[in-house]
Amino acid sequence: CNGEDAPSFDTQAGKDWLLSNLHDNDVIVTFTKTDGSERVMRCTLQESVLPVVETKSTKTRAKSEDSLSVWDLDANAWRSFRWDSVREIIFG
């Protein structure tokens, strides 16, 4: 699947496919940012990589159906992208 065009994420099956891969692997996602520029991000949702969440925190964000939050492995921070902006998926 390296360098393959991303499947359509307008279906739940497409979203579930990417989520499953993010939970198992590092994934390089190429997407178009809201300002129109292209961004390439190496990210994951592997529990062994994610930071420990403070349970005392009352600061939570509403979950969006239009975007996905992932752990950016290069920035060591949470980032997100819109499902409809994904251009390419590469398994790293």
The answer to whether residue 18 scores a pLDDT higher than 80 is yes
- Which residue do the tokens 């997407």 mark? 31
Helix or strand run (H / E) with residue 88 = strand 86-91
Contacts for 27 with CB less than 8 Å, ≥ 6 apart: 18, 21, 42, 43, 44, 89, 90, 91, 92
Residue 60 clears pLDDT 80, i.e. is over it = no
Look at residue 53 in the predicted model and tell me its pLDDT. 72
**Mean pLDDT estimate for the chain:** 88
Give the pTM. Answer: 0.83
Quick one: pLDDT band at residue 1, thresholds 50, 70, 90?
very low
Instruction: Mention every residue, 6+ apart, whose C-beta is less than 8 A from residue 23.
Output: 45, 46, 47
